């Protein structure tokens, strides 16, 4: 038999290949059917289809698939009686946005899934989130962390991971811990990279840190492009960098940084959790490239459940994929979040009682794309609500969703060193950065942090000069006021010799109070006399590094540069000439005391007189009499103390104590009044010629200002005519213009800043005064570029220097003794004293008021205690009226009578009662002499004194003789009534003697 022809062999080969291909298709269909039968839920359970979109070609995708399968097995092993069963539908995105979108469309349209887990990246999840929102299919992602992807915009998107914006606060806290005030941000040019920028900018601003530059680098950037970015960073003084890139790009970026010499001392690198969360899964070469980096990652407590799952996960990964790399720290936080996500969707499906998949398909339409023909899930809304309400203790911590995203409890700060990451601190919203998760833990990071270049001390965060050159310090060249800044040229070599108050302050700040050396050189700026704004712009235009001089801090200048803390007084005002005058007013005697002090003195005069009268009224005859006499005595006695001419003898120690204190107060008042009045009558005052800015505007006077000052613009804004303004450069020109006045070609006032006016008044103390309001500015400050790290350090040094003697000594050296000129204090300068106010003597009035009131209360309390029984009986025998009125009337009558128990009256009464015969003999002699009518009748000397006493004595004697009388009868009649009844008492006494028993 012959050999077959070539055509026959070709046909046979073709048929064989077709047969093999058909057999493979049948085998694939059989395997798919078997897989579907394995995935199908057992009888009695409702199937819940969940799509899973992963990059199955990557090792991370393979790990996540293993974790998801293990999560489903663990859940249903723990819940064997579940009514629902989640069956996953895996799709491969290939790591592409288009692949992820195609997979999502396929899952919703063909599989009619009721939820989707994934995709992995923020860019892939963006389209899937909008697709799920349209089809009402919840999309859960445990790795799409960009803040741009927000559940607020797509309600059916659920982020089961930490939003990247959450780590902005711990990043800023790390900068604040080391007092880094400026940083450069490097981020991946993708939705994942740019989403964190708004939150990071706000957080850094909150701790006083400035973003010097933001640089986006594509994840596929070439090494040359990365080198160009790094070279630009090296030319900047900032040495703190915040890096937000994915874990694949980070190692390559830091290899280029190490090659450029930027992984050395003085550099600080802070990396977000895109690297920190997977640092344990990096290779030794990748970790070596990032040694010294500080990173963040969400904190996961290592529980027994986590350890058990980790061991099982590594064992299963070796079985499923023997070629896959298995790390000692597998799984990462992303794997744990994926595990918890599966538990959340399974728990929510059970809680919501989800039924079989059901979609409401759109009506017949002309839609030509798959998107237009997608239906709407009828179970999606219930499942989404159940997911939001699901809470449990997962492997990564408490699973709780707030506003559709997971809330991490804390962040762990790790240091990339050695073979992996070493924890060096923690961050919580309540405690900030601390060394442990303990309320009593020390603040800050652990001192064991190793920085780039194997440095153990934290980097300063910036360098004075990136190229190593000296700082260019620009100084103004002034024609006057060289006490502040003076520039003199050396005639031999033309070198500039810079001196002055501002220069010496800057030198002292840099050399004595800065914590590190700073090299600089002064560069005179010749065109500064016209306007200091041009001088300040030298820093903004990078033509100078610092400006030192009498540069005022203003809001407009701060928009372009930074200023240190001011080192001089703030504000600006005007100085005018003064004229001398002496007051000749006829009412000048009233001026030493203010109205309040006059009224207070009058009130206390009356009060003191009343207190003395009240205490002495019942026991002292000199404080008795008619009501008008007693009223006049109150004022007379108090005012007589003004010249210490009071003659009334005081009987009570209480009133004596009141008068002693009051006399002391009067002594101080009269002495102060005399001194002030003498000063007003004899000393001249310096009265300013102009006291108000509005007076200058109304009069149209010429005014002056310093050449090159910003005050010219401020005066124009206040309404002054530009043609009425004159510029001057020296204090001598100020004095000449003010002395000539506006009528002779001068000015009525000169406006300038307080330091200049103080210098002028220290030179010309006589004849000029600072008047009017002080318009606020922030004083003089040193000028730095925006965001310069020198600014806060120099400001702290200025404050430290101001608290010591160095600042005062420098000021005294250049401006003389402070306060040497009275006019320097401003206002209407007067050599004489000002009037006295009540505030100056408030303490004295308080003392005398308290003492007088206390003595009066003591007296009244004693009076009520001693006399209440007798007054009560008198009130019961009183007339008509209520009991209260009768008692009040009785008390008033009793207070008006003399106190016969007091020593003043008691001594005579007791002797009269004890020696009644002597009283009777005195009366007999008196009557006998009266009856004899002889002019020569002799009266004993002792009796003459008795006769010379007031009629009160005669009346009292007759009452003592009269039977049945008592001392109480004396209380019933007032002293004034007895004075009127004295003659009648004498007649009654005579009649009694004549008709009685001898």
Comparison of pLDDT for 826 and 489, the residue scoring more: 489
Residue with tokens 């499942």: 383
Q: Over range 291-318, report the average pLDDT.
A: 91
pLDDT tens readout for residues 252-275: 999 999 999 999 988 999 999 989
Residue matched to tokens 């009525």: 748
| Cα-Cα-Cα-Cα dihedral sign, residues 858, 862, 865, 869 | negative
Residue 633 in tokens = 């005595």
C-beta separation of 301 from 121 below 8 A: no
- Residue 879 dihedral angles phi and psi, to the nearest 5°: -85, -150
The pairing of beta strand 572-581 with beta strand 685-688: antiparallel
Residue 624's pLDDT is 76
In tens, the pLDDT along 634-649 reads: 777 777 777 666 667 7
Of 698 and 942, which is predicted with more confidence? 698
Which tokens is 643 given?
Answer: 């010249």
What pLDDT is attached to residue 582? 57
* Of the candidates 644, 647, 636, 635, the residue with the CA atom closest to the CA atom of residue 670: 644
Q: How far apart are CA 459 and CA 270, in angstroms?
A: 12
The pLDDT score that the predictor gives to residue 298 is 92
- Interval 232-255 mean pLDDT: 92
Q: How many Å apart are CA 489 and CA 495, to the nearest integer?
A: 6
Select from 696, 679, 816, 680 the least CA-distant residue to 760.
Answer: 816
Count CB neighbours of 868 within 10 A: 12
| Distance in angstroms (rounded) separating the CA atoms of residues 255 and 758 | 60
Name every residue whose Cβ is closer than 8 Å to that of residue 111 and which is 6 or more positions away in sequence.
49, 51, 89
Sheet holding 561-563, edge to edge: 520-525, 471-476, 546-547, 783-785, 561-563
The model's confidence at residue 473, banded by pLDDT at 50, 70 and 90, is very high
Tokens at 981, concatenated: 């009844």
pLDDT tens digits along 115-151: 999 888 888 999 899 999 999 999 999 989 999 888 8
Q: Which two tokens stand for residue 979?
A: 């004075």
For residues 345 and 348, what is the distance between their CA atoms, to the nearest angstrom? 5
Contact (Cβ atoms closer than 8 angstroms) between residue 339 and residue 395: yes
Q: What percent of the chain has pLDDT over 70?
A: 78
Mean pLDDT along residues 965-992: 42
d(CA 117, CA 91): 10
Residue 593 has pLDDT above 80, yes or no: yes
CA–CA dist 506, 523 (Å, integer)? 14
Other CB atoms within 10 Å distance of the CB of residue 366:
5
Average pLDDT, integer, range 968-975? 40
In angstroms, rounded to a whole number, what is the distance separating the alpha carbons of residues 343 and 353?
15
Give me the chain's average pLDDT, please: 79
Q: Which residues pair with 210 in a beta bridge?
A: 182
For residue 772, what is the enclosing H or E element?
A: strand 768-775
User: What totals of helices (H) and strands (E) does the chain contain, helices first?
Assistant: 35, 32
More confident residue, 369 or 451: 451
- pLDDT for residue 645: 64
**Block residue for tokens 């900018």:** 201
| pLDDT tens-digit series, residues 159-206 | 999 999 999 999 999 999 998 988 999 999 998 999 999 999 999 999
Question: Which whole number is the average pLDDT over 870-894?
Answer: 69
Under DSSP, the state recorded for 709 is -
Confidence of residue 293 (pLDDT cuts 50, 70, 90): very high
Three-state SS string over 118-175 comes to CCCCHHHHHHHHHHHHHHCCCEEECCCCCCCCCCCCCCCEEEEEECHHHHHHHHHHHH
Strand partners, 52: 90, 117
pLDDT bin (cut points 50, 70, 90) of residue 322 is: confident
Is the Cα torsion angle 591, 594, 597, 603 positive or negative in sign? positive
Packing angle, helices 982-995 and 951-961, rounded to 10: 30
H or E element in which residue 501 lies: helix 501-508
pLDDT above 60: residue 788: yes
Q: What is the largest CA-CA distance in the chain?
A: 209
Residues 153, 134 contacting (CB under 8 angstroms): no
> Confidence class of residue 685 from pLDDT cuts 50, 70 and 90?
low
Q: What is the pLDDT of residues 395-410, one digit of tens each?
A: 999 999 999 999 887 9
pLDDT band (50, 70, 90) for residue 245: very high
- Residue 984, pLDDT > 60, answer no
């Amino acid at each position: 038999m012959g050999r077959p022809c070539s055509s026959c062999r070709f046909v046979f080969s073709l048929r064989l290949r077709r047969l093999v291909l058909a057999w493979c298709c049948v085998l694939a269909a059989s395997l798919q059917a078997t897989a579907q039968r394995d995935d199908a839920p057992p009888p009695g359970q409702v199937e819940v289809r969940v799509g899973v979109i992963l990059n199955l070609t990557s090792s991370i995708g393979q790990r996540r698939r293993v974790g998801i399968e293990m999560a489903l097995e663990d859940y249903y092993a723990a819940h064997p009686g579940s009514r629902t069963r989640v069956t996953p539908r895996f799709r491969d995105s290939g790591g592409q946005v288009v692949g992820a979108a195609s997979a999502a469309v396929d899952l919703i349209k063909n599989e009619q899934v009721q939820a989707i887990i994934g995709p992995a990246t923020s860019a892939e999840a963006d389209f899937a989130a909008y697709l799920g929102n349209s089809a009402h299919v919840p999309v859960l992602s445990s790795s799409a962390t960009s803040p741009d992807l927000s559940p607020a915009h797509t309600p059916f998107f659920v982020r089961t991971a930490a939003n990247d914006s959450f780590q902005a606060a711990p990043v800023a806290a790390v900068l604040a811990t080391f007092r880094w005030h400026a940083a450069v941000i490097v981020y991946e040019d993708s939705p994942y990279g740019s989403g964190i920028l708004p939150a990071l900018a706000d957080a850094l601003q909150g701790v006083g840190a400035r973003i010097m530059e933001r640089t986006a680098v594509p994840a596929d950037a070439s090494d040359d492009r990365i080198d160009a970015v790094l070279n630009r960073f090296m030319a900047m003084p900032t040495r703190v960098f915040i890096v937000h890139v994915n874990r694949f790009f980070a190692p390559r970026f830091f290899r280029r940084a190490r090659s450029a010499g930027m992984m050395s001392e003085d550099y600080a690198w802070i990396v977000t959790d895109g690297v920190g969360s997977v640092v344990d899964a990096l290779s030794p070469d990748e970790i070596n490239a990032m040694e010294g980096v500080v990173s963040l990652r969400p904190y996961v407590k290592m529980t027994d459940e986590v350890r058990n799952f980790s061991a099982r996960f590594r064992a299963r990964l070796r079985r499923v994929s023997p070629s896959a790399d298995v790390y000692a720290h597998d799984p990462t936080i992303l794997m744990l979040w994926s595990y918890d996500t599966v538990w959340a969707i399974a728990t929510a499906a059970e809680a919501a009682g989800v039924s079989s998949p059901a979609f409401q398909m759109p009506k017949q339409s002309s839609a030509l794309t798959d998107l237009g023909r997608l239906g709407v899930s009828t179970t999606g809304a219930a499942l989404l609500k159940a997911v939001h309400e699901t809470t449990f203790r997962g492997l990564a911590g408490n699973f709780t969703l707030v506003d559709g995203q997971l809330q991490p409890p804390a962040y762990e700060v790790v240091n990339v060193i050695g073979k992996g990451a070493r924890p060096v601190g923690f961050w919580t919203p309540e405690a900030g950065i601390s060394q442990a998760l303990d309320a009593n833990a020390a603040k800050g990071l652990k001192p064991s942090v190793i920085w780039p270049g194997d440095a153990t001390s934290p980097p300063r965060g910036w360098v004075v000069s990136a190229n190593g050159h000296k700082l260019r310090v620009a100084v103004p060249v002034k024609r006057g006021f060289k006490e502040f800044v003076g520039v003199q040229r050396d005639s031999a070599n033309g070198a500039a010799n810079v001196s002055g108050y501002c220069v010496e302050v800057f030198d002292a700040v840099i050399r004595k109070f800065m914590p590190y050396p700073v090299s600089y050189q002064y560069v005179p700026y010749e065109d500064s006399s016209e306007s200091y704004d041009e001088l300040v712009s030298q820093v903004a235009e990078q033509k100078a590094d610092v400006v030192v001089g009498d540069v005022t801090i203003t809001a407009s200048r701060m928009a372009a540069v930074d200023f240190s803390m001011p080192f001089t007084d703030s504000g600006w005002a005007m100085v005018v000439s003064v004229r001398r005058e002496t007051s000749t007013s006829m009412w000048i005697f009233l001026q030493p005391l203010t109205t309040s002090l006059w009224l207070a003195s009058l009130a206390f005069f009356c009060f003191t007189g009343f207190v003395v009268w009240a205490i002495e009224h019942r026991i002292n005859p000199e404080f008795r009499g008619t009501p008008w006499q007693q009223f006049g005595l109150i004022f007379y006695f108090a005012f007589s103390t003004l010249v210490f001419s009071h003659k009334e003898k005081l009987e009570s120690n209480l009133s004596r104590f009141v008068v002693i204190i009051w006399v002391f107060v009067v002594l101080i008042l009269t002495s102060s009044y005399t001194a002030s009045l003498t000063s007003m009558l004899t000393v001249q005052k310096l009265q300013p010629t102009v006291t108000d800015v509005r007076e200058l505007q109304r009069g149209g006077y010429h005014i002056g200002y310093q050449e090159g000052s910003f005050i010219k613009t401020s005066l124009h804004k206040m309404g002054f005519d530009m043609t009425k303004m004159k510029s001057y450069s020296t204090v001598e020109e100020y004095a000449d213009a003010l002395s000539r006045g506006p009528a002779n070609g001068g000015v009525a006032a000169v406006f300038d800043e307080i330091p200049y006016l103080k210098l002028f008044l220290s030179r010309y103390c006589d004849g000029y005064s600072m008047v009017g309001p002080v318009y606020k500015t922030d004083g003089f400050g040193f000028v730095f570029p925006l965001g310069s790290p020198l600014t806060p350090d120099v400001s702290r040094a200025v404050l430290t220097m101001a608290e010591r003697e160095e600042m005062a000594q420098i000021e005294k050296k250049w401006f003389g003794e402070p306060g040497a000129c009275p006019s320097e204090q401003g206002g209407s300068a007067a050599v004489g004293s000002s009037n006295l106010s009540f505030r100056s003597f408030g303490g004295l009035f308080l003392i005398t008021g308290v003492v007088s009131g206390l003595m009066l209360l003591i007296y009244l309390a004693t009076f009520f205690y001693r006399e209440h029984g007798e007054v009560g009986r008198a009130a019961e025998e009183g007339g008509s009226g209520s009991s209260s009125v009768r008692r009040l009337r009785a008390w008033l009558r009793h207070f008006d009578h003399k106190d016969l128990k007091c020593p003043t009256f008691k001594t005579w009464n007791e002797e009269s009662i004890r020696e009644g015969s002597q009283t009777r003999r005195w009366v007999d002699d008196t009557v006998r002499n009266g009856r004899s009518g002889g002019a020569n009748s002799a009266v004993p000397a002792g009796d003459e004194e008795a006769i010379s006493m007031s009629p009160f004595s005669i009346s009292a004697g007759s009452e003592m003789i009269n039977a049945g009388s008592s001392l109480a009868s004396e209380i019933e009649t007032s002293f004034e009534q007895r004075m009127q009844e004295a003659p009648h008492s004498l007649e009654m006494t005579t009649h009694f003697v004549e008709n009685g028993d001898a």
